[in-house]
Amino acid sequence: MGAELVLPKIESVLQINDEVLINQSGLHSDAWASPSARKFARQFGVDIHQVRGSGQRGRVTKEDIEQFIKSSMLARKNSSAPIAAGISCLDLLPWPKVDFAKFGEVERQARSRIQKVSAANLARNWVMIPAVTYHDDADITDLEEFRSTLNKENQKDDLKLTLLAFLIKAVVAALKRYPTFNSSLDGEELVLKKYFHIGFAVDTKNGLVVPVIRNADQKGIREIAKETAELAILARDGRLKPDQMQGASFTISSLGGIGGTYCAPIVNAPEVAILAVNKSAIKPVWDGSQFIPRLICPLSMSADHRVIDGAIATHFTTYLTQLLGDFRKVML
Ligand code: CAO
């Protein structure tokens, strides 16, 4: 069967001020415009349906098209509007412009510098990385018992061994077994890192920041716990130095202290994978003869499919659940 050519349907023709205006349907929005305005739009490669008409009955005039071209160029140039610029590069519809106050009371808030920077980064990562999220459950009953015993023994120390510190150590062991997770794409090549710098997301009043534990493979649980606590304080006080947020080869987003079951984190470019951990809960687990209560921790790992296929991703999460299930394996 031959390909069918689908032409936009001309729905109606309107005569205003002696000009014949054409209205087409089947596109994003209906647009009234004279043939000369349409010709002008075509000359500049403007999709007339994206132009807001200021003429009679919303007619798109030549001036509207000129204005549209000017605003698009400004959006590309204006570095304070990276999202708008990115969207115009993708040739998407412009962001809806709505007068919200028409519908009820509203309040406008300025966005913090951190929020603006992370919004631009997240938008790029979401659009450019074909990520897949893999979920798994880790039985951390024994690990939590071990952690709680250590914390009781070291009560005087004023240092809490957090689950995050154990997660970092387990992730490093999994990265060692599956090195592609500790890599970055660089053009046609994959850069495999021999270092293990682990970023962890910190929720601050000004937005999300990701300090980095450098050489986590060379540090013990106590040192990692101490360093994460110190970095989290610096992050919340807005005192992190740029180099304390650079060079991560893998990121962990630990949300378990807040809640949630699972989530789908956005990969933090140029890394290729990110692990999110939500709140663990007691669940019934079948041991072969009966259900027993176990502490189950939900894991969600998003990975860049250009680098990591589903099979290896599942090997990674399976291995990670094994490590967290029996932490002695981390030492192997
Ligand atoms: N399941 C159940 N409880 C958990 C848990 C889990 N997976 N992880 C932590 N908890 C509990 C801890 O046991 C602790 O409880 P207690 O005080 O009773 O012992 C409490 O939650 C706080 O945990 P914590 O002090 O160990 O803190 P943390 O190491 O878990 O987290 C930090 C530190 C900085 C990662 C965290 O405060 C934070 O900011 N998380 C948010 C990360 C974020 O915003 N991610 C989103 C990124 S994308 O938008």
Distance CA(145)–CA(324), nearest Å, equals: 12
pLDDT of amino acid 5:
33
Indicate where the chain has its CATH 3.30.559.10 domain(s).
Answer: 120-331
The 10 Å Cβ neighbour count of residue 285 is 15
Q: Which atom number of ligand 1 is nearest to the Cα of residue 258?
A: 21
Type of residue at 100: F
For residue 298, cis peptide bond before it (omega within 30 degrees of 0): no
Residue 332 has pLDDT above 70, yes or no: yes
**pLDDT 10s digits, 100-109:** 999 999 999 9
Residue spans of alpha helices (H) in 178-220: none
Ligand 1 neighbourhood includes 208 CB (under 6 angstroms): yes
Nearest CA to ligand 1 atom 31: 254
**pLDDT 10s digits, 77-98:** 554 444 444 555 677 899 999 9
Q: Cα of 253 to ligand 1 centre, how many Å? A: 9
Residue 8 has pLDDT above 60, yes or no: no
Ligand 1 neighbourhood includes 163 CB (under 6 angstroms): yes
**pLDDT 10s digits, 249-307:** 999 999 999 999 999 999 999 999 999 999 999 999 999 999 999 999 999 999 999 99
Q: Which CATH class is domain 11-89?
A: few secondary structures
Q: Cα of 203 to ligand 1 centre, how many Å? A: 10
pLDDT of amino acid 176:
98
Burial degree of 57 (CB within 10 A; 0-12, 13-18, 19+):
exposed
Residue 10 has pLDDT above 80, yes or no: no
**pLDDT 10s digits, 122-181:** 999 999 999 999 999 999 999 999 999 999 998 888 899 999 999 999 999 999 999 999
**Collapsing DSSP states into helix, strand and coil, what is residue 281?**
strand
Q: Cα of 126 to ligand 1 centre, how many Å? A: 25
pLDDT of amino acid 18:
33
Ligand 1 neighbourhood includes 201 CB (under 6 angstroms): yes
Residue range 221-235: mean pLDDT, rounded: 97
The DSSP 8-state label assigned to residue 241 in this structure reads: -
Indicate where the chain has its CATH 4.10.320.10 domain(s).
Answer: 11-89
Distance CA(16)–CA(33), nearest Å, equals: 10
CA atoms within 13 A on the CB side of 108: 4
Pairing type for strands 291-304 and 131-139 reads: antiparallel
> What does pLDDT average to over the chain?
87
pLDDT of amino acid 13:
34
Residue 190 has pLDDT above 70, yes or no: yes
Nearest CA to ligand 1 atom 7: 256
pLDDT of amino acid 57:
78
The DSSP 8-state label assigned to residue 295 in this structure reads: E
The CATH homologous superfamily for domain 120-331 is Chloramphenicol acetyltransferase-like domain (3.30.559.10)
Q: Distance of CA 261 to CAs 63, 131, 140, 163, Å?
A: 52, 20, 15, 16
At 30, the pLDDT band (50, 70, 90 cuts) reads low
At 76, the pLDDT band (50, 70, 90 cuts) reads low
- 254: β partners: 277
